[in-house]
Amino acid sequence: MSMYEVKEIDDKKPWEDFSLSNSPNTFLQSWNWGKFNISVGRRIWRLGVFKKGSLVGICLAVKYSSRLSNYIYCPRGPLIDWTDPQTFEVLFESLKTLAEKEKCTFIKIDPLLENTEENRQIFAKIGFKGAVTFVQVEDAWLLPLDKAEEELLAGMRKTTRYLIRHEPKQGITVEISNEMSDAKKFVGLLYSTATRKGFVNHPKNYYLKQFEIFSKEDQEKLFVAKKGDVTLSMAMIMFYGEMTYYLHAASNTKEAQSVGYSLQWEAMKEAKKRGCKYYNFWGVVKDKNFHPGHPWYGFSLFKRGFGGFKYSYIRAQDFPLNSKYYVYRAAERLRRYYRRLTSGYWED
């Protein structure tokens, strides 16, 4: 009998116990992220790797379907001990079997690993190819929360620190909500923000289902910055394990004071209360593109102003299962090239 085996896990407790005890961890491998994917019509598998009967790894696998291909995607997973290569080998064989059974073109692994040559070689040596475009954030801005509030403020850009202290004096307040009625208002504001700034959003139900599922377990909150009865800005904040995530944000174009410095500060204080180690601002533009001419410069400057550091994750890795993958890959290259022509910059 093999020392390792892979089995589906249908019990939330062992899954979450393992996920939350793992470091690093991520809500994208949580039980509720699987539940969310089911709610938007995707098939999922919660795979556990067992060594001598003990759980040593988990992998939320999601089936994605498009006009060009079907594929199995592991968002920021698997969560395993990468120093034990056998764990991934056994899991990878199970993923290949699953993908072939589901008539998929390829497997996409998006690991929670730093972007180093050593980590890229883990995948290159067994036939993976770096994805053409990123799926999850590759360059994240992280703020350690292991300091007192005054120390955190001292580490911020002067302008950021000033606005955090000044906004309340202007009558700006921050409310915290877990109400679906507020989530619907947020989505409306998000869509108007996207139209104004040229972003592409997910369908509205994507945000509402996510909020419905995670807010029920106190893992996601809406932070709302107001002046009187006027909403200036809103943000969906995720709390999971060792990290708090600044996921989605929207602002009121009619109001000049809509950038939400005090909103971020209140979210950080809540993260500290919950014992989170990091505040994850999500994505920032790559260093080579960090200049005023880049469309992402503004929000990247905003995030960097709070202090912290950039952490670069390895790009998603694709394992081709048949020749159709190369048609998909060519289409992705064309899509990326089109975005360059229309926006004037490379996304990577």
Domain ranges (residues) in the chain: 4-137+314-343, 139-311
pLDDT at 67 over 90: no
Q: How far apart are CA 297 and CA 302, in angstroms?
A: 9
Per-residue model confidence (pLDDT) at position 1 = 46
| pLDDT score recorded for residue 294 | 72
Measure CA 182 to chain center: 22
Strands (E) located in 31-75: 44-51, 54-65, 70-75
Query: What pLDDT is recorded for position 198?
Result: 63
- In sequence order, the 6+-apart residues with CB closer than 8 A to the CB of 257 are 167, 170, 172, 227, 232
- Of all residues in the chain, the percent with pLDDT exceeding 70 is 93
Q: What is the domain class of 139-311 according to CATH?
A: alpha beta
Confidence of residue 75 (pLDDT cuts 50, 70, 90): very high
**Selection from 152, 171, 153, 174 nearest residue 162 by Cα:** 153
Amino acid identity at 297: Y
Percent of the chain's residues with pLDDT above 90: 80
Within the chain, how many helices (H) and strands (E) appear?
11, 15
Per 3-state DSSP, the chain is made up of helix, strand and coil in percentages (nearest 5) of 40, 30, 30
Q: Cα–Cα distances in Å, from 98 out to 59, 101, 281, 305, 339?
A: 13, 5, 34, 45, 33
Residue 262: C-alpha distances to residues 29, 153, 161, 171, 233 (Å)? 30, 12, 9, 11, 10
Indicate the pTM of the whole model: 0.93
CA distances from 182 to 196, 226, 262, 265 (A): 21, 13, 19, 20
The pLDDT tens digits for 225-268 are 999 999 999 999 999 999 999 999 998 866 555 568 999 999 99
Please tell me the distance from the alpha carbon of residue 260 to that of residue 173, in angstroms, as a whole number: 10
* Cα–Cα distance measured from residue 223 to residue 242, given in angstroms and rounded to the nearest whole number: 20
The C-alpha atoms of residue 215 and residue 322 are separated, in whole angstroms, by 40
Nearest to residue 237, comparing CAs of 261, 266, 259, 262?
A: 266
Average pLDDT, the chain: 92
> Fold for domain 4-137+314-343?
Aminopeptidase (3.40.630)
pLDDT digits (tens, 9 = 90+) for 38-56: 999 999 999 999 999 999 9
* Residue 316 pLDDT grade (very low, low, confident, very high; cuts 50, 70, 90): very high
